[in-house]
């Protein structure tokens, strides 16, 4: 459903110019969870932002359901992807407005997208999104970010990302800033979403191979801006063919 082909990307100008992605090709299929792994600075965020149309590529193409995402602001696939995607980032508190209740934060995408949706329908969808991520609406609707733990705040951010029923969700290291003890709740939230929405694609950027093993169907390994290996999770983790992937796996165990 989402296809990136031969993507190059550099940052900076003149002598400071540095290429961070080299001829990267990657597919995301309907309903699958694709993990993007690799060391810090390997290009995971840049690549996934380009796939979602949030960043431009210098060369190569991205297509969403056959429609071009690359090629400018008005590219048809880019518009469709904007409406059809949800985003979750590393630090939940930086993505939640401290002045807004949970109810308002989660409702916001519905209000932007479906102006005029009746308030009771908004309330029903917000409550359902919160329950999906394991937060009881009666307890959380009226809370402010300051009253939430990191794990709860991240689950609110996930509820907001899925409330519009997106076709693809990008989660960029959603557990890295969360206490180890609360990470399992984030993982459970994603698993519950995948159960509810079997057609939704999930792109999970992570350096935690335990997470990858638990949730991903397929894995792409980036090393210094190049794809060194990709394949089904079980095969890739059990029998990595690339030396860098072997290093990653050895470092994790």
State the binding partner of 43 from Mg ion, ligand ADP, none, CB within 5 to 8 A by kind: ligand ADP
| CA gap 239, 253 in Å, rounded | 15
| CA gap 43, 5 in Å, rounded | 15
10 half-sphere exposure, CB direction, 13 A CA radius? 10
The contact pattern for Mg ion, residues 62-101, with x = CB under 5 A and - = no contact, is ----------------------------------------
45 binds ligand ADP (CB under 6 A): yes
Q: Which residue has the tokens 């990595």?
A: 240
45 binds Mg ion (CB under 5 A): yes
| CA gap 173, 205 in Å, rounded | 5
State the binding partner of 42 from ligand ADP, Mg ion, none, CB within 5 to 8 A by kind: ligand ADP
Contact yes or no for 237/213 (Cβ under 8 A): yes
Q: Which of residues 5-24 bind ligand ADP (CB under 6 A)?
A: 11-12, 20
Minimum CB–partner distance for residue 19 and ligand ADP (Å): 9
Stretch that binds Mg ion, among 7-15, 39-47, 95-103, 138-146 (CB under 5 A): 39-47
CA dist 130 → 48, 75, 126, 222 (Å): 26, 33, 6, 33
Question: CB-based contacts of 248: which residues, under 8 Å, 6+ apart?
Answer: 37, 38, 39, 209, 221
**Closer CB to ligand ADP, 156 or 169, in the complex:** 169
| Residue whose CB is nearest to Mg ion in the complex, by number | 45
**Closer CB to ligand ADP, 46 or 154, in the complex:** 46
Given the rule CB under 5 A, which residues bind Mg ion? 44-45
């Amino acid at each position: 459903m989402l296809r990136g082909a031969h993507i190059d990307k550099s940052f900076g100008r003149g002598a400071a110019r540095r290429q961070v992605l080299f001829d990267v090709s990657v597919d995301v299929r309907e309903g699958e969870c694709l993990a993007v792994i690799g060391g810090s600075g390997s290009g995971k965020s840049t690549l996934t932002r380009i796939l979602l149309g949030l960043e431009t590529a210098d060369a190569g193409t991205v297509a969403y359901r056959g429609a071009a995402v690359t090629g400018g602001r008005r590219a048809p696939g880019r518009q469709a992807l904007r409406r059809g995607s949800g985003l979750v980032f590393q630090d939940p508190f930086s993505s939640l407005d401290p002045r807004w209740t949970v109810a308002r934060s989660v409702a916001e995408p519905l209000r932007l997208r479906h102006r005029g949706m009746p308030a009771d329908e908004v309330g029903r969808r917000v409550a359902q999104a919160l329950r999906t991520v394991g937060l009881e609406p009666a307890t959380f609707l009226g809370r402010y970010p300051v009253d939430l733990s990191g794990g709860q705040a991240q689950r609110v951010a996930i509820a907001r990302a899925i409330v519009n029923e997106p076709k693809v969700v990008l989660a960029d290291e959603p557990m890295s800033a969360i206490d180890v003890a609360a990470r399992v709740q984030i993982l459970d939230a994603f698993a519950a979403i995948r159960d509810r929405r079997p057609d939704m694609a999930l792109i999970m950027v992570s350096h935690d191979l335990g997470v990858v093993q638990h949730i991903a169907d397929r894995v792409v390994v980036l090393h210094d801006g190049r794809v060194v290996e990709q394949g089904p999770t079980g095969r890739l983790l059990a029998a990595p063919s690339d030396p860098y992937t072997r290093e990653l796996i050895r470092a994790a165990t």
